[in-house]
A and B are shown apart, each in its own frame.
Chain A
Amino acid sequence: MSVMMQDPAIPERKRMEKFLPWYIAGRLSRDERMQVEEYLRRHPDFAPNVERVKSEHDELVQLYESLGAPRGGALAKLMTSIGEDGVRRIEAVGSGGLIARIGAWFKDLTPQQLAFAASVAVGVFVVQAAAITMLATKGRVQPTETAQSRPQATAQAPRLPTAAQPSQTAVATLARDAVVTGGSYLTVTFADTAKAPEIAAFLTRYGASVADVKDGKYRIKLLDLSAVQGSTRQGPPRDLLAVATQMRGEQSLVRHIEVMK
């Protein structure tokens, strides 16, 4: 009996009531907003509900405004934190850490696993040698190859430095058509005045990580950004020489660069 006496409009009213907070906040879709407005036209007695939500909204905003704000110095503290973070990032990928991790990995292997890993390594070495031989042979039988007939990646001549660009005397000899791949390395000597956060920011800017540090020289690995999932800097492969030249231009930070390919 009580079920029969229920107002069939209640489920719709409840649905509208659920919409109201977002209606007041202006965060309903156009369709949902129109549904609320249409309901309000048909049910003027629903208007006080809207007012009620509005007063909750207004009082909460007032409450929030009384909560204050972080004390002064919060920004300076953040800058210090990210500076330390930069140092930690460099330390984390430094030579000691890398070698220690590799050492730990080998230490955990059983003799059988070690033997299997060695077999796989030998297999990879053989395949790699065969591939290099094939490429070298292919190069010899096509002596008339032109820029047009070469693959796209190598047909694009790198941007050569102009007079306005910094001198490249410090940049070692490099094949002109090299592009950045997952295995491209540079050795960078930073200026004595370069600070750790600046070095960390430099590495982030160029999509690079430190492979090892020896005698003040940073061997850095450039990421192939075109292959990095979710990278904000995806695009065609980077020109290795251009990257090195651009880095060399940061004279306040970089003292010397060598390209290793």
Chain B
Amino acid sequence: MSEASSELELLKAIAGGDSLALKKLFARHNVRVFRFIVRVVRNDALAEEIVNEVFVDVWRHAGRYEGRSAPLTWILAIAHNKARSALRKRTEDAIDEDKMGEIADESDTPEIIAQKGDTGAALRQCLEKLSREHREIIDLVYYHERSVEEASEILGIPEGTVKTRMFHARKKLAELLTRAGIDRGWP
């Protein structure tokens, strides 16, 4: 049985009220979903809260899953909506997500890391500095290995926009790297 079809069976069982099936699905995906959410909300405690909400939604609405996309895609779409709505609910005194990149931290900047010759670490730092939208698309494609169609479903944007957003995210990444003194010859 393929992974997708076994997950489909799990979702059917969950729709029938089988909590053991929910436990299995949770065990399979909770870390992946947590990491996706924490990259959006940038707060471990809030991300844990949202992961819980995501799987409660899976429990409640498994019967509505139509099987048009992979179960993980469906779960990530729920996670994306919940993370976005949690960000909207944040109070004014909470840290503004868009200003996160401007907050000075004690770790080395990409420039210093680049000077030390650790290109991989500099690349990781620059990946962290991308805007939320750019992080999301890069995460979905590189880590979660979602197709154009699946990323479109998760983010609720047209497929053409998915490709363009990914292109611009990579372009921005290249610019950040160039600023850090790493010229990779593109774009």
Contact = CB atoms under 8 A, between A and B. Distances in A.
Given A18-B166, A75-B23, A205-B17, A59 B56 contact: no
A22 B148 contact: yes
A201 B128 CA distance: 43
A209 to B, nearest CB: 13
Given A64-B35, A82-B19, A205-B17, A77 B52 contact: yes
A218 B39 CA distance: 46
Interface stretch (B76-84, B88-96, B136-144): B136-144
Nearest to A65: B35
A98 to B, nearest CB: 20
Interface string A6-38: 000000001001100110111100000000000
A202 interface: yes
Given A59-B127, A67-B38, A75-B27, A26 B166 contact: no
User: What range describes how many residues of B lie at the interface?
Assistant: 35 or more
A188 to B, nearest CB: 15
B34 A69 contact: yes
Contacts of B152: none
B142 A57 contact: yes
A68 interface: yes
Interface in A47-71: 48-49, 52-53, 55-64, 67-71
A1 interface: no
B16 to A, nearest CB: 5
A64 B166 contact: no
A257 interface: no
B124 A59 contact: yes
A197 B59 CA distance: 12
A25 B60 contact: no
A206 to B, nearest CB: 9
Nearest to A15: B163
A149 B38 CA distance: 65
A156 B106 CA distance: 76
B180 interface: no
B85 to A, nearest CB: 18
B147 A63 contact: no
A81 interface: yes
Contacts of B141: 21-22, 25, 27
Interface stretch (A103-111, A127-135, A136-144, A227-235): A227-235
B63 interface: yes
B22 A82 contact: yes
Nearest to B67: A232
A60 B138 contact: yes
Nearest to B32: A64
B26 interface: yes
A130 to B, nearest CB: 37
B147 to A, nearest CB: 4
A231 to B, nearest CB: 7
B17 A56 contact: no
A69 B142 contact: no
A185 to B, nearest CB: 20
A67 B138 contact: no
Given A25-B145, A69-B31, A232 B48 contact: no
A82 B48 CA distance: 16
A21 B145 CA distance: 9
B56 A81 contact: yes
Contacts of A167: none
Contacts of B167: 14, 17-18
A74 B166 contact: no
A49 B167 CA distance: 13
Nearest to A25: B145
A60 B139 contact: yes
B154 interface: no
B34 A230 contact: no
B81 to A, nearest CB: 18
The 10 A-B residue pairs with the shortest CB-CB distance in the complex, in nearest-first order: A204-B17, A201-B17, A27-B147, A59-B123, A69-B31, A60-B142, A25-B145, A67-B35, A63-B124, A57-B142
6 contacts: A21-B141, A56-B127, A56-B142, A201-B17, A204-B16, A233-B16
